[in-house]
């Protein structure tokens, strides 16, 4: 650890659940609509309006919990969290407090230290305790326009107010910024995989807060924590944590004291800045939401959600390693998203060569897809066509080198492997009849060499191969040529 210091990090993730409508009313959750277009008395917080729980939000909350290996409480209770802010018209947020949707879970992630160039070298399993996963509504958004102090206006957009969120809180179990990084990526992938959330940090439908403190190695109690916000990507979060660790250690070593506060990450300046002090503890005056029944989730409901979920990424990675004999790193890459894993399995099946399909997918096709910013389900090359390409190479129709050009053209034109091979006249001739004819011609036109060969000058074999290849304009399958030539030369 950094010269006698230990770092302690706990993470809070807010993930927007991918429902079409809000959690307590029927308003649309569509992103980017006219400000305040998607509002009604419930999400505007008008007096007398009553919330009705959206069943789909519960289902997606359950998918989120199950994707992280969490147990769902049979009964959970919505509670009012009271605070005042312009984007919160009711003056309280409906959340969950002492009886959350899920609590006391444990998640195994894979994590690795990084070398100077940021490469992971040694993936190890690590257990993270999940304090809770609860359901709540999102607040609206304040929008500021104009120049400060001259012509500044603030607006309130309540389209986001009432959007369903799952908040996932961990125990302070992380000791490095990379562990936190690997955890957030794990959660993002799991939520996307099961369709619980788009989990896109840039769009703000996955938001992450990092709580960071430091203490002298061996100290019994935790240091004062600082909460980091405005982390718009997982990488920004990792950098913000690193900055914060340095700042806190330097501060204490210089005789100072860390104050409990919320700080914002400024990526341009590469530093965190104070947003507000947290010294005076908030009193949210939580109490059970009187307008909603306790949420009861039966074991049958959970079972039906579980049955409708795809095989989870970790299981799938394990299966890829066993069934297709892939390395950990290949299997991890190919399970980075569900569409890619599905693509791979179809390509592997149709190629008849699972390792070959993995190699072509990860080193060639994925490069094209990433460059085009497309996910595997939008690939212009269908999985069966990647399979056909691998098969054509394995059967010796074309060389691996030609395969690369063929794939680039398949990607650009959307044509199938065999059509591109045919159109370009690339197919190697493997038809024995055709090759036999060429061999007969070559032998007939080189009687002197034939005589020398039969007299024992075996090095002439290469000469005959060369002649046949030349006569076929390079298209004859070299293996077939070799086999047939050997046969013919040894006939007397
Ligand atoms: P608050 O009441 O300030 O929100 P919580 O106890 O709810 O604090 O914890 C919020 C998050 O901070 C959790 O993820 C928790 O693991 C983490 N946390 C708590 N104490 C520390 C600490 N000393 N250092 C780092 N993280 C901490
Ligand atoms: Mg908290
Ligand atoms: Zn509404």
290-315 pLDDT, tens per residue? 999 999 999 999 999 999 999 999 99
Which residue has a Cα nearest atom 19 of ligand 1?
172
Is any ligand 1 atom within 6 A of the Cβ of residue 38? no
pLDDT at 81 over 90: yes
* Residue 479 confidence class, pLDDT cut points 50, 70, 90: confident
412 contact partners, CB below 8 Å, separation of at least 6: 380
Find the 65 Cα to ligand 3 centroid distance in Å. Answer: 26
Neighbours of 191 (CB within 10 A): 27
Which residue would you say has higher pLDDT here, 397 or 106?
106
pLDDT of residue 492: 55
pLDDT of residue 277: 79
CB 370 within 8 A of CB 337: no
pLDDT at 241 over 60: yes
Q: What is the mean pLDDT of the chain?
A: 93
pLDDT at 149 over 90: no
Find the 211 Cα to ligand 2 centroid distance in Å. Answer: 10
CB 297 within 8 A of CB 55: no
pLDDT of residue 260: 94
Q: How far apart are CA 125 and CA 318, in angstroms?
A: 13
Task: Domain ranges for the chain, please list them.
Answer: 5-296, 310-423, 432-489
* Residue 103 confidence class, pLDDT cut points 50, 70, 90: very high
Work out which ligand 1 atom sits closest to the CA atom of 213.
Answer: 24
Q: Considering only CA atoms, which of 191, 266, 192, 277 is closest in space to residue 236?
A: 266
Q: What is the pTM for the complete model shown?
A: 0.88
* Residue 469 confidence class, pLDDT cut points 50, 70, 90: confident
Tokens linked to 40? 């009604």
> How big is the chain by its Cα radius of gyration, in Å?
31
Q: Considering only CA atoms, which of 164, 167, 161, 168 is closest in space to residue 85?
A: 161
Q: Strand pairing of 226-229 and 206-216? A: antiparallel
Is any ligand 1 atom within 6 A of the Cβ of residue 478? no
DSSP state of 28: B
Q: How far apart, in Å, are the Cα atoms of 221 and each of 213, 216, 224?
A: 11, 10, 10
Phi and psi based region of residue 255 (left: phi greater than 0; alpha: psi -120 to 50; beta: remaining):
left
pLDDT of residue 249: 97
Is any ligand 1 atom within 6 A of the Cβ of residue 132? no
Find the 293 Cα to ligand 2 centroid distance in Å. Answer: 24
pLDDT at 20 over 70: yes
64 contact partners, CB below 8 Å, separation of at least 6: 15, 17, 133, 166, 168, 190, 191, 194, 196, 197
Is any ligand 1 atom within 6 A of the Cβ of residue 9? yes
Find the 311 Cα to ligand 2 centroid distance in Å. Answer: 32
Determine whether domain 432-489 maps to CATH 3.40.605.10.
no
Find the 172 Cα to ligand 1 centroid distance in Å. Answer: 7
Q: How far apart are CA 170 and CA 86, in angstroms?
A: 29
pLDDT of residue 141: 94
Tokens linked to 249? 């250690």
Q: How far apart, in Å, are the Cα atoms of 27 and each of 1, 54, 90, 135, 462?
A: 50, 11, 17, 18, 77
| Average of per-residue pLDDT across 44-60 | 97
Range from 91-105, 141-155, 343-357, 424-438 carrying the lowest mean pLDDT: 424-438
* Residue 281 confidence class, pLDDT cut points 50, 70, 90: low
pLDDT at 12 over 60: yes
Residue from 225, 228, 276 to probe ligand 1 pocket by mutation (most atoms less than 8 Å from CB): 225
pLDDT at 248 over 60: yes
379 contact partners, CB below 8 Å, separation of at least 6: 343, 365, 369, 411
- pLDDT per position as a tens digit, 346-383: 999 999 999 999 999 999 999 999 999 999 999 999 99
Is any ligand 1 atom within 6 A of the Cβ of residue 248? no
């Amino acid at each position: 650890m950094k010269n006698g210091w230990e770092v302690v990090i706990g993470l809070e993730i807010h993930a927007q659940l991918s429902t079409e409508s809000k959690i307590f009313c029927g308003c649309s959750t569509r992103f980017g609509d006219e400000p305040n277009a998607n509002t009604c008395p419930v999400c505007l917080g008008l007096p007398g309006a009553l919330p009705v729980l959206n069943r789909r939000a519960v289902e997606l909350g359950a998918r989120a919990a199950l994707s992280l290996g969490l147990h769902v409480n049979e009964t959970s209770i919505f509670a009012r969290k009271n605070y005042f802010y312009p984007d919160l018209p009711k003056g309280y947020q409906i959340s969950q407090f002492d009886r959350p949707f899920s609590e006391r879970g444990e998640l195994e992630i894979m994590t690795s230290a990084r070398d100077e160039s940021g490469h992971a070298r040694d993936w190890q399993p690590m257990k993270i305790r999940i304090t809770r996963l609860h359901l709540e509504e999102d607040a609206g958004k304040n929008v500021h326009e104009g120049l400060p102090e001259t012509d500044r206006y603030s607006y309130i957009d309540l389209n986001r107010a009432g959007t369903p969120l799952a908040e996932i809180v961990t125990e302070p179990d992380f000791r490095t910024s990379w562990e936190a990084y690997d955890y957030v990526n794990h959660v993002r992938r799991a939520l996307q995989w099961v369709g619980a959330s788009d989990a896109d940090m840039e769009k703000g439908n996955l938001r992450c807060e990092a709580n960071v403190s430091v203490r002298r190695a061996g100290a019994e109690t935790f240091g004062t924590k600082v909460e980091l916000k405005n982390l718009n990507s997982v990488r920004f979060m990792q950098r913000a944590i690193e900055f914060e660790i340095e700042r806190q250690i330097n501060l204490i070593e210089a005789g100072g004291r860390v104050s409990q506060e919320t700080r914002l990450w400024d990526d341009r300046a590469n530093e965190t800045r104070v947003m507000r002090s947290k010294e005076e503890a908030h009193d949210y005056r939580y109490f059970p939401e009187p307008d909603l029944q306790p949420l009861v989730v039966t074991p049958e409901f959970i079972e039906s959600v579980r049955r409708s979920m795809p095989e989870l990424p970790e299981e799938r990675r394990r299966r890829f390693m066993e069934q297709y004999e892939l390395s950990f790193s290949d299997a991890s890459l190919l399970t980075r998203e569900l569409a890619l894993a599905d693509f791979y399995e179809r390509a592997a099946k149709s190629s008849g060569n699972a390792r070959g399909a993995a190699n072509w997918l990860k080193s060639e096709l994925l490069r094209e897809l990433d460059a085009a910013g497309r996910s595997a389900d939008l690939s212009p090359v269908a999985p069966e066509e990647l399979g056909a390409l691998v098969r054509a190479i394995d059967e010796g129709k074309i060389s691996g080198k030609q395969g690369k050009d063929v794939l680039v053209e398949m990607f650009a034109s959307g044509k199938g492997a065999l059509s591109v091979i045919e159109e370009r006249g690339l197919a190697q001739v493997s038809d024995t009849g055709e090759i036999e004819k060429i061999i007969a011609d070559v032998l007939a036109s080189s009687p002197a060499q034939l005589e020398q060969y039969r007299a024992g000058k075996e090095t002439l074999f290469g000469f005959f191969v060369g002649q046949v290849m030349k006569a076929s304009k390079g298209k004859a399958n070299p293996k077939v040529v070799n086999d047939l030539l050997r046969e013919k030369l040894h006939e007397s």
